[in-house]
């Protein structure tokens, strides 16, 4: 993940047209490096670093994509995430909505959605 951020950074830096977009690009890449440097999220201390970095990456990358001219990439990806979550939750139906939601592994899929939208916007810009 750390190498992914290092290869992604020049592209999103070049696509960034404002100071705010550049700050968001830096934050997204720093968060992605943090996720890569703390992959063992089962350990309690490293889990804090991993989850904090993932949240930073998620928020800043999605705000960055929203600031680009390819903001519409967010719609199908996050719609697919919502549809997947609802379908997967409907298969489990344990009576506990929170447990059904957590069993779909939402944070993992949020990370995948964030990377998909960021790489999608970068790919469309080329």
Copy the structure tokens of residue 55: 């949240």
- Region of residue 122 (phi > 0: left; psi between -120 and 50: alpha; otherwise: beta): alpha
Q: Which residue has the higher pLDDT, 40 or 50?
A: 50
Q: Which two tokens stand for residue 33?
A: 């490096």
34 is in which domain, residue-wise?
Answer: 2-125
Count CA atoms closer than 13 A to 47's CA, side-chain side.
5
Average model confidence (pLDDT) across the chain: 90
Q: What pLDDT score was predicted for residue 56?
A: 94
- 25: pLDDT strictly greater than 90: yes
Name the pLDDT band for 125 (thresholds 50, 70, 90): confident
61-112 pLDDT, tens digit each: 999 999 999 999 999 999 999 999 999 999 888 888 898 898 888 888 988 9
pTM, rounded to two decimals: 0.86
The total of structural domains in the chain comes to: 1
- DSSP code of residue 103: T
Q: How far is CA 106 from CA 23, 29, 80, 91, 125, in A?
A: 26, 21, 12, 15, 28
């Amino acid at each position: 993940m750390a190498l992914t951020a290092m290869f992604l950074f020049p592209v999103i830096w070049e696509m960034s047209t404002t100071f705010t977009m550049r700050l968001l690009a830096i934050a997204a890449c720093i968060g992605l490096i943090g996720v890569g440097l703390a992959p063992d999220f089962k350990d309690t201390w490293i889990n804090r670093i991993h989850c904090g970095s993932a949240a930073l990456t998620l928020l800043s990358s999605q705000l960055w994509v929203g600031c680009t001219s390819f903001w519409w990439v967010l719609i199908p990806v996050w719609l697919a995430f919502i549809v997947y979550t609802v379908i997967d939750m409907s298969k489990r139906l344990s009576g506990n909505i929170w447990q059904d939601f957590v069993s779909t592994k939402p944070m993992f899929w949020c990370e995948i959605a964030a990377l998909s939208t960021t790489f999608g916007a970068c790919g469309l810009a080329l």
